[in-house]
């Protein structure tokens, strides 16, 4: 028996729907994605049930069984659709939702149980297109009322969120796409009329995979979705199409079938094209903003340095008695002003290093140097500070001498010093231990272990970002730019190395590992992009 073309599409549709369900759930671990995952499973069951119903036409017992199965799936889907709309509109915490949502699930469950009885659908009739279906019974009528009510609620919520002035653009967009998806889904709902003897050519089967794709698009990170999934879907659709022609050459698609396929391809193509363009524009905009930001910080930093140099210079001269002997009472505040200006200058310098990093203007001067000597130099620089705080400062020398490393000694030292300074700054009792070793014969590992405030696990990645600081660090030392580790990480990354941190948590201390390749192919000179115009003449 030949079946209409859209029926054959049910099987690849089921596969596709299961795929997008998993895709969406694996990509974004939010509740709405989990709901959508279950919704996809329901749809897949529905699609397979429909296919088996068609292929079993003639065997009434099987037809009734599969029709009940697909109704069972539909009963599962209604509360999920309603729930998804609430999640997307952020309405789950509303009073009405707290009553309606459990009600939707309970009723859905009751109807699902009912589908297994003759009170929902029973008896089989045959119609053109080689199809067959069961007759609707009392339960089916009530089910339709239930379905229309809750789907209307969902539509209402989504529409309101989409048109709302108060919602964020992102939420509105999400609601808009979900609304589109639900409209497509409702179009597929005309299939329900079959139980009442109103027959359509089953082209509406195509709306189920379309619905899943649109919802995935709405609730997954859009750029990711377009970049990977839409392409996959498009290629998949073309493959299905081509292989259908190849394996079922006698298959009569009919004008409707052809039109459906054509529209499907057209929609996915245009979506893909549109979002590729949007993506390009967004990227350009982001780059422009980031460039403006770094230029702004750089200009501000230069402008800040002049008055700061004046404050620093004059207070230093007053302090030294250049303007007459300074009374004891005044010398204390003058010293404070001087120290404050110096620490502010350091912050400005930090800001400048970051903007330079972001513009790729840091120049590396690689040569072979001794890590051992460098570490001893670092220790000398901070020895006094550790002593003043009453902390120990140990260097556990490796048993074997360390090989010399090729890199920019100044930059690597800068990175080590930033971490070492932090270790002393954020340690109250105990001290700091530095050790160095050769790792996998290709890297040198410098470990800086302190007994300080520690770093919470969820922060161990974030602290390396610019302007980011650990919670415990802020409590102990409110000032700070959050740039030290960012600069350190960037300098080490320029040497193809990496910095990692290990901490057992609050007050358990932390250990920073700096891994530097012994012979890194580092970029010795980076392109300058911002030479003052007068120098270009």
Partner 1 sequence: MKKILIIEDEKILSEMYKFKLEKEGFEVLNAMEVDEAIEIGKKNKPDLVVLDILLPKESGINYLIKMKNFEELKNVPVLVLSNFDDNETKNKSFELGAKDYLIKSNHDPKEIVEKIKELII
Does the protein bind partner 1 through residue 337 (CB under 8 A)?
Answer: no
Does the protein bind partner 1 through residue 299 (CB under 8 A)?
Answer: no
Q: Is 396 helix (H, G, I), strand (E, B) or coil?
A: strand
CB of 486 to partner 1, least distance (A): 18
Residue 319 or 471 having the CB closest to partner 1: 319
CB of 494 to partner 1, least distance (A): 14
CB of 495 to partner 1, least distance (A): 18
Contacting partner 1 (CB under 8 A), which of 173, 316, 372, 381? 316
Does the protein bind partner 1 through residue 325 (CB under 8 A)?
Answer: no
Does the protein bind partner 1 through residue 411 (CB under 8 A)?
Answer: no
CB of 392 to partner 1, least distance (A): 31
Contacting partner 1 (CB under 8 A), which of 105, 125, 201, 314? 314
For the CA atoms of 472, 478, 484, 485, the dihedral, rounded to the nearest 10 degrees, stands at 20
For the CA atoms of 182, 188, 189, 194, the dihedral, rounded to the nearest 10 degrees, stands at 180
Transcribe 451-463 into DSSP letters: -SS---GGGTTGG
CB of 302 to partner 1, least distance (A): 6
Distances (CA, A) of 382 to 389, 417, 422: 11, 8, 11
Q: Which stretch binds partner 1 (CB under 8 A): 100-108, 298-306, 371-379, 432-440?
A: 298-306
Distance of CA 463 to the CA centre of its chain: 18
Q: Which stretch binds partner 1 (CB under 8 A): 165-173, 206-214, 347-355, 492-500?
A: 347-355
Q: Which stretch binds partner 1 (CB under 8 A): 6-14, 305-313, 455-463, 478-486?
A: 305-313
Contacting partner 1 (CB under 8 A), which of 306, 429, 441, 479? 306
**Scanning residues 42 to 61, which ones bind partner 1 (CB under 8 A)?**
none
Q: Residue 121: which residues within 8 A CB-CB, separation 6 or more?
A: 64, 67, 68, 71, 115, 134, 135, 136, 137, 139, 140, 195
Backbone angles phi, psi at 197, to 5 degrees: 85, 5
Does the protein bind partner 1 through residue 498 (CB under 8 A)?
Answer: no
Does the protein bind partner 1 through residue 308 (CB under 8 A)?
Answer: yes
Does the protein bind partner 1 through residue 504 (CB under 8 A)?
Answer: no
Does the protein bind partner 1 through residue 352 (CB under 8 A)?
Answer: yes
What whole-number distance in Å separates Cα of residue 229 and Cα of residue 213? Answer: 9
**Burial class of residue 378, CB neighbours in 10 A (0-12, 13-18, 19+):** buried
**Scanning residues 360 to 399, which ones bind partner 1 (CB under 8 A)?**
361-363
Place of tokens 């699902």: 112
Residue 302 or 394 having the CB closest to partner 1: 302
CB of 313 to partner 1, least distance (A): 5
Name the helix (H) or strand (E) containing 127: strand 121-127
Q: Which stretch binds partner 1 (CB under 8 A): 51-59, 193-201, 346-354, 461-469?
A: 346-354
Contact 441/459 with Cβ under 8 angstroms? no
Instruction: Tell which phi-psi region holds residue 390, choosing left (phi > 0), alpha (psi between -120 and 50) or beta.
Output: left
Residue 344 or 379 having the CB closest to partner 1: 344
Contact 429/466 with Cβ under 8 angstroms? no
Does the protein bind partner 1 through residue 320 (CB under 8 A)?
Answer: yes
Query: CA geometry: angle at 345 spanning 344 and 348, to 5°?
Result: 90
Q: How many chain residues are in contact with partner 1, going by CB under 8 A?
A: 27
Does the protein bind partner 1 through residue 238 (CB under 8 A)?
Answer: no
Rg (CA), the chain: 34
Does the protein bind partner 1 through residue 532 (CB under 8 A)?
Answer: yes
Transcribe 304-362 into DSSP letters: HHHHHHHHHHHHHHHHTTTTSPPPHHHHHHHHHHHHHHHHHHHHHHHHHHHHHHHTT--
Residues in touch with partner 1 (CB under 8 A): 302, 305-310, 312-314, 316-317, 320, 322, 345, 348-349, 352, 361-363, 528, 530-532, 534-535
């Amino acid at each position: 028996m030949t079946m209409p073309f859209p029926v054959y599409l049910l099987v690849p549709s089921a596969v596709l729907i299961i795929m997008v369900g998993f895709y969406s759930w694996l990509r974004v671990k939010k509740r709405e994605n989990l709901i959508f995952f279950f919704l996809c499973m329901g749809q897949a069951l529905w699609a397979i049930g429909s296919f088996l119903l068609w292929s079993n036409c003639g065997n009434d017992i099987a037809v009734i069984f599969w029709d009940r199965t697909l109704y069972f799936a539909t009963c599962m889907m209604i509360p999920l659709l309603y729930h998804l709309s609430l999640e997307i509109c952020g309405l789950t915490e509303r009073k009405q939702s707290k009553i309606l949502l459990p009600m939707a699930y309970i009723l859905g469950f009751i109807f699902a149980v009912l589908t297994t009885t003759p009170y929902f659908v029973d008896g089989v009739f045959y119609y053109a297109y080689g199809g067959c279906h069961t007759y609707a019974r009392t339960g089916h009528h009530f089910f339709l009322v239930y379905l229309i009510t809750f789907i209307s609620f969902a539509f209402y919520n989504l529409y309101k969120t989409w048109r709302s002035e108060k919602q964020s653009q992102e939420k509105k967009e999400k609601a808009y796409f979900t609304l589109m998806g639900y409209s497509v889904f409702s179009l597929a709902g005309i299939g329900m009329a079959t139980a009442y003897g109103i027959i359509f050519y089953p082209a509406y089967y195509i709306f189920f995979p379309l619905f899943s794709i649109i919802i995935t698009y709405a609730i997954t990170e859009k750029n990711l979705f377009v970049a990977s999934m839409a392409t996959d879907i498009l290629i998949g659709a073309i493959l299905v199409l081509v292989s259908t022609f190849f394996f079922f050459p006698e298959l009569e698609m009919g004008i409707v079938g052809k039109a459906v396929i054509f529209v499907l391809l057209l929609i996915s193509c245009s979506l893909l094209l549109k979002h590729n363009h949007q993506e390009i524009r967004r990227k350009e905009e982001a780059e422009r903003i980031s460039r403006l930001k770094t230029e702004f910080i750089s200009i501000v930093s230069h402008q800040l340095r002049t008055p700061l140099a004046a404050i620093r210079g004059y207070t230093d001269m007053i302090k030294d008695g250049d303007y007459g002997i300074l009374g004891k009472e005044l010398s204390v505040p003058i010293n404070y002003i001087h120290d404050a200006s110096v620490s502010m200058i350091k912050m400005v310098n930090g800001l400048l290093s970051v903007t330079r990093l972001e513009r790729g203007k840091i120049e590396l001067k690689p040569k072979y140097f001794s890590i051992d000597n460098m570490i001893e130099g670092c220790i000398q620089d901070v020895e006094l500070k550790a002593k003043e705080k009453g902390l120990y400062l140990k260097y556990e020398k490796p048993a074997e001498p360390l090989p010399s490393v090729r890199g920019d000694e100044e930059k690597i030292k800068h990175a080590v010093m930033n971490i070492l300074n932090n270790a002393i700054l954020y340690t109250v009792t105990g001290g700091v231990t530095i050790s160095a070793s050769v790792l996998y014969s290709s890297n040198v590992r410098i470990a800086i272990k302190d007994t300080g405030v520690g770093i919470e696990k969820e922060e161990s990645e974030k602290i390396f970002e610019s302007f980011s600081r650990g919670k415990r660090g802020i409590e102990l030392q409110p000032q700070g730019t959050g740039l030290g580790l960012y600069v350190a990480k960037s300098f080490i990354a320029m040497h193809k190395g990496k910095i990692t941190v290990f901490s057992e948590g609050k007050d358990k201390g932390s250990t920073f590992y700096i891994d530097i390749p012994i012979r890194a192919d580092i970029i010795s000179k980076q392109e300058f992009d911002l030479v003052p115009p007068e120098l270009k003449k």
